[in-house]
Chains A and B, each alone.
Chain A
Amino acid sequence: MDNAIIGGVGIHPFGRFDNKPYTEIGRDAVVMALEDAGIEFKDIQAAFVSRMYLPATAGVKTLSILGRTAIPIVDVEAACAGGGACLRLATTAINSGMYDVVLALGVEKMPRGFMDPRQLYDLWQCYGGLTQNPMYWAMNARRHMHVYGTTEEQIAKIAYKNHKNGVNNPYAIYRKKMTMEEIMNSALVCDPMRLFMICAPNEGAAAAILFSPKAARKYTSKPLTLAACSHRVSAVPFYNVAGYTNYETGNEPVTTTAAREAYEKAGIGPEDINCAEIQDTDSFCELEHYEQLLFCKEGEGGKLIQDGVTEMSGRLPVNMSGGLICKGEPVGASGLGMVFEICMQLRGEAGPRQVKGVTVGLAQAYGSMGHVTVTIIKK
């Protein structure tokens, strides 16, 4: 089966846009992607729209602004990995041979403050006070520190790196460089995780237009190959949002399962990745994902950041965009936001964030209840 081609990408900045409805936020990302791909909306034959906190049929409501063209439009939800899950469905639609031009859109407008826990948790967990999402990340960090000697400084350094990178991203909400002291002295949220190590929910959109090889020859002069797009949901155990019980079965982490599948499909290994956008809901989980994506051995994630490997100047830059820590996390859109950044890097259009000589990039999204997507894109 031939790979789908990414013909165009678009983004609406991630931030807060009180007077702008989600439909217009989503529309703007689609218009940018259409112009990038050199097509018009009427050329789209099917659309998948990722969102989590929007009402039913949000995809139709968003796209009907651009025209009711009688195409199938499906809303997709896979928590924070929704953007990747949506892209995978679009890929499947192309690879099935049914369609030549398919849109994947992620759009989100999240409420301010704490999200209503009933969206993710059972009622008893809500009443029981067991619904503060960062507690999961904090306990993962604490366990890792205990077993591998990972330090708070190493965890903070990832936040420092991402804040530094985010300064150069016009699509990010937070664009202020921070010192290690500011990060390590910021308010404790759930020990050892602190405020400036954690991402915030917000609003935004990102889109990708996929072509069959045939359509790519017709429309685009700058094709990128979607070499792999895998979506897995964790087996037991998973130490992540909304879970309440586990058992150490010996199963590998779901990110590793998804990554192995993606590497195999793309015919490459982790050593071939030139740069990556990976889930940094908090700065510790970026560290853990280094290991689970097989960028380094288990327990060596702290050393990877300490040695500067994932800095802009390192061998494998990670979160050139500033990550979710700087962009914020509009959960339905964030996965496609990562794909947008990787496409910019592959085309050499990332401006001050550009990594030199990128030919293969990876995007990984991780969501509650164990959703993971790993996407590999090649020049």
Chain B
Amino acid sequence: MEKDIEEKELPFAPGFLTEPLSPRENVRLLGTKCHICSAVLLGSRENCEACASRNVEVIPLSRTGKIWSYTILRYPPPWVFNIPNPHQPPLPVAWVKLPEGVQIISHIECAPEELHIDLAVELVIEKGWEDEEGHDILMYRFKPVKE
């Protein structure tokens, strides 16, 4: 039974999420840390995108961070697929900065009026959409940390 669940779920892209994918609250984003220039960027890489060195390490990233800048989409993002567009406005989007220094663009699960620069947010891993083979695709977003 547990195996069935695992096979039904896939990450949004390879090399971006830690495994196992369940339980979801334990899943973290993966980043690549450069041992030469110390840049950290989202996703698993063989070269540092910032300095082109190959002296890099894939690391799990912190689950919490702060909003660096934000906006609110007032129109749905473009949609070219045969399933209904799940992304409906008003839709908060932000550059989130994690303690490692990495910045990640993300939807923010909150009311538009809650958004502000430096707002503390935490990672949420949830089903984002279903692919054509019926897999649940796990996607990331962030939500405000509740006091």
Say whether B70 contacts A132, CB under 8 Å.
Answer: no
Say whether A244 contacts B72, CB under 8 Å.
Answer: no
Contact check: which of B69, B103, B104, B139 meets A146 at CB < 8 Å? B69
A247 neighbours in B (Cβ, 8 Å): 39-41, 50, 101-103
Interface string of B35-79 (1 = CB under 8 A from A): 001011111000001100000000000000000111111111110
Interface string of A239-257 (1 = CB under 8 A from B): 1000111111100000000
B105 at the interface (CB under 8 A from A): yes
- Say whether, besides A139-B94, A245-B43, A247-B41, A190 and B73 are in contact (CB < 8 Å): yes
Output the least CB separation between B104 and chain A (Å).
6
- Say whether, besides A129-B86, A235-B50, A249-B50, A146 and B117 are in contact (CB < 8 Å): yes
Q: How far is the CA of A117 from the CA of B95 in the complex (A)?
A: 20
B40 neighbours in A (Cβ, 8 Å): 247
B13 at the interface (CB under 8 A from A): yes
Output the least CB separation between A229 and chain B (Å).
25
Contact check: which of B78, B94, B95 meets A131 at CB < 8 Å? B78
B70 neighbours in A (Cβ, 8 Å): 139, 142
Interface string of A132-145 (1 = CB under 8 A from B): 10010011101100
- Say whether, besides A239-B95, A244-B42, A249-B37, A126 and B80 are in contact (CB < 8 Å): yes
B123 at the interface (CB under 8 A from A): no
Assuming A126-B80, A190-B93, what are 12 further A-B pairs, CB within 8 angstroms? A124-B13, A124-B139, A127-B128, A127-B137, A135-B73, A142-B69, A142-B70, A143-B95, A187-B74, A190-B71, A193-B71, A236-B41
B72 neighbours in A (Cβ, 8 Å): 188, 190-191
B85 neighbours in A (Cβ, 8 Å): 129
Output the least CB separation between B22 and chain A (Å).
20
A114 neighbours in B (Cβ, 8 Å): 78
B106 neighbours in A (Cβ, 8 Å): 130
Q: Which residues of A185-202 have CB atoms within 8 Å of chain B's CB atoms?
A: 187-193
- Say whether, besides A143-B117, A247-B39, A188 and B74 are in contact (CB < 8 Å): yes
Q: How far is the CA of A192 from the CA of B70 in the complex (A)?
A: 10
A176 at the interface (CB under 8 A from B): no
B102 neighbours in A (Cβ, 8 Å): 245-247
- Chain A's closest residue to B91 (CB) is A129
Output the least CB separation between B11 and chain A (Å).
9
Contact check: which of A124, A128, A143 meets B68 at CB < 8 Å? A143
Contact check: which of A115, A122, A139, A243 meets B13 at CB < 8 Å? A122
Q: How far is the CA of A244 from the CA of B103 in the complex (A)?
A: 8
Output the least CB separation between B94 and chain A (Å).
7
Say whether A130 contacts B68, CB under 8 Å.
Answer: no
B24 at the interface (CB under 8 A from A): no
Residue of B78, B94, B104 with most partner-chain A CB within 10 A = B78
Q: How far is the CA of A100 from the CA of B19 in the complex (A)?
A: 60
Output the least CB separation between A333 and chain B (Å).
22
Say whether B69 contacts A243, CB under 8 Å.
Answer: no
A142 neighbours in B (Cβ, 8 Å): 69-71, 117
A348 neighbours in B (Cβ, 8 Å): none
B86 neighbours in A (Cβ, 8 Å): 129
12 contacts between A and B (CB under 8 A): A124-B139, A130-B105, A135-B71, A135-B93, A139-B95, A146-B69, A190-B74, A193-B71, A236-B41, A245-B104, A246-B103, A247-B101
Say whether B117 contacts A132, CB under 8 Å.
Answer: no
Output the least CB separation between B52 and chain A (Å).
10
Say whether B12 contacts A132, CB under 8 Å.
Answer: no
